[in-house]
Structure 1
Amino acid sequence: MDRSTLNLLAPRQFYVVPAPVDSGRKKTPGKAILAGGISGGIEILITFPTEFVKTQLQLDERAAQPKYKGPIHVVTSTIKERGFFGLYRGLSSLLYGSIPKSAIRFASFEFFKNQIADKDGKLTTLQTLGCGLGAGVTEAIFAVCPMETIKVKFIHDQNQPQPKYRGFAHGVSTIVKTEGFAGIYQGLGPTILKQGSNQAIRFVVYGKITNWMKGGDDSKKLGVLQTLSSGALAGAASVFGNTPIDVVKTRMQGLDRHKYKNAWDCTKQIWKNEGFFAFYKGTTPRLGRVCLDVAIVFTLYERIYDALIAVEGML
């Protein structure tokens, strides 16, 4: 039997993609926590205004009298009423939350990856999907849900005639005092769905694109523009994949959540009262924010982790 025939009969292997970091080595969760936390803090300072605009549009129900005509109107109205820094209302909740969120995301991804990757540190597409899903669920429970609930309440409170939250500490204490600890864990189910699907999509798409750019050579280092573009595309894929979940999550965390029995009832009411396209409200600002978010975080994470390795080697 000739060699070509043997090749045809050989068992096929799954296509393997690298994790969205250098696959040739295992990364330690400890360094991933530090690199992820620093990356998340820098990223949110840059992108928060787009998150503010997205949340305002999602809270502006079509069933009621709309307050805003679109993203630009949100920006101009906010600056006119509260000045430029009005676009940073609710920043404290995301800043305090983004650092642990990114730290938990990358550390948990590296932990799951280290458990199942092959000896070369590679994952199949399905394994990458699973690790991303696990990272998203973990960050949703331990960081994102309370952070997002507080952020949405702060932004929604700004729309009231007499805002009642005087700052982060006062706002959180008021929420806990009036609603209990569960008051900062509203919309947990949709948040888990959102973050799980977010990270599953992002890690897979980022891994696929960077693998293509490397030409299959895991030792090749990508430039800043390459990682930024890969991250932006991964972020865009997650936006179009799960914005409906994000809309339901936002409504369930707002001050008007009492109008809904649960996430499913919220979904039905949006469909009935506002139509299909209401599930994609805020897509434009979210697209801008998430593409920047993912591009910046993945790029910073890669380089901060390498810097930590270099510093460790010098000690």
Structure 2
Amino acid sequence: MVSDTLKDILSGTFGGIAQVLVGQPFDIVKVRIQTAPHGTYNGVLDCVSKIVTHEGPFAFYKGTLMPLMGVGACVSVQFAVVEEFKRRFRHANEARFGTSHLSDVQLYTAGAAAGIANSVIASPVEHIRIRMQTQRNGEFRGPIDCLSRISREHGLKGVFRGFFPTALREGHGMGVYFLTYEYMVQRALEGKHITRAELPTTTSMIAGATAGIALWLMVYPIDVVKSCLQTDSLDPSKRQYHGSLDVIRQLYGRGGIKAFFRGLEPTLIRAPFANAATFVAFEWASRNLSKY
């Protein structure tokens, strides 16, 4: 029999793979717009056009190998932690109140815990992915070469550059993410008088899409700060930014509040598709693994 934890890990892995395959082209456009010098692109379509013209259509999947391995691991950790917290909260609620219903605070807490735990994997994975996405002169032969060189030349501190904003984004973002999804799913189950195993795919898609949009609306400025740190020079003597607060100061000085929302359009376009795919894949895998 498959244990609950293993089932959650495997189901999360399916969700993570679906998320990468659907969302990677949108993500590379987001990162390019976030980190390029002001005026490089006139918008999303201009960025897409320039990538196709100068680098070819396969450029939209630059650095995909690392996310396929890393995001699969990240999402599996997220779902494993959030489902474990939900189980513990249900047991506590049943013992104290005689009901397994989870409060909004408990759902947010479960998501936040999942996000913070996930940050340990997400930070280096996203750092390597961003380095691969933004390189234009073939500096790295691949994600393994990129990781190896950063680790060798700059140690763990270099690999984990941008960890603090990543942890902040993941903690708050995943709290909002899972709260939104579970709230919508629970309302649907109660309204239709069905079990989780009977959850319609369309309901999972809509709830996942909404959760993805809510996530990014809550944490996007933090993600911009993270991206700036992770695309800055690894050589301390050549860095443009000296830390998260310095990124905030410089971005605001150059472009005001708008500077923290550069690249939001492709992110909001990507969010519903990638996260709908994530939850549909997770629910499908979880439902089928429950048979064993």
Structure 1-normalised TM-score? Answer: 0.84
User: C-alpha separation between the residues in 2 aligned to 1:94 and 1:290?
Assistant: 16
Tell me which residue corresponds to 2:59.
86
Q: Which amino acid aligns with 1:222?
A: L
Q: Determine whether 1:102 maps to 2:75.
A: yes
**What are structure 1's unaligned runs of at least 5 residues?**
1-26
Aligned with 1:137 (options 116, 140, 143): 116
Alignment length (residue pairs) = 278
Is the Cα contact below 8 Å between 2:12 and 2:79 reproduced in 1?
yes
Aligned with 2:187 (options 212, 221, 241): 212
**1:215 Cα offset (Å):** 3.1
Tell me which residue corresponds to 2:10.
34
Q: Which amino acid aligns with 2:88?
A: Q
User: C-alpha separation between the residues in 2 aligned to 1:121 and 1:188?
Assistant: 35
User: C-alpha separation between the residues in 2 aligned to 1:261 and 1:77?
Assistant: 31
Percent identity of equivalent pairs:
26
SS in 2 for 1:122: coil
Q: Deviations over 1:114-158 (max 9, x none)?
A: 2222335431110111000000011112x1101111111112222
SS in 1 for 2:83: helix
**1:42 Cα offset (Å):** 2.5
Tell me which residue corresponds to 2:135.
157
Q: Which amino acid aligns with 2:40?
A: K
Q: How does 1:24-63 map to 2 (within 5 A)?
A: 28-62=4-38
Is the Cα contact below 8 Å between 1:153 and 1:255 reproduced in 2?
no
The structure number with the bigger radius of gyration is: 1
User: C-alpha separation between the residues in 1 aligned to 2:27 and 2:73?
Assistant: 18
User: C-alpha separation between the residues in 2 aligned to 1:94 and 1:121?
Assistant: 36
Aligned with 1:248 (options 225, 234, 237): 225
Tell me which residue corresponds to 2:211.
234
Tell me which residue corresponds to 2:155.
180
**1:219 Cα offset (Å):** 2.1
Is the Cα contact below 8 Å between 2:22 and 2:277 reproduced in 1?
no
The two structures, once aligned, show a CA RMSD in angstroms of: 1.6
**1:113 Cα offset (Å):** 1.7
Is the Cα contact below 8 Å between 2:18 and 2:274 reproduced in 1?
no
User: C-alpha separation between the residues in 2 aligned to 1:291 and 1:146?
Assistant: 25
Tell me which residue corresponds to 2:102.
123
User: C-alpha separation between the residues in 1 aligned to 2:15 and 2:150?
Assistant: 29
User: C-alpha separation between the residues in 1 aligned to 2:40 and 2:219?
Assistant: 25
SS in 2 for 1:77: helix
User: C-alpha separation between the residues in 2 aligned to 1:298 and 1:128?
Assistant: 16
Q: Which amino acid aligns with 1:308?
A: L
**1:236 Cα offset (Å):** 0.8
Q: Deviations over 1:10-49 (max 9, x none)?
A: xxxxxxxxxxxxxxxxx82211001101221122112200
User: Which structure's residues are more often helix, by fraction?
Assistant: 2
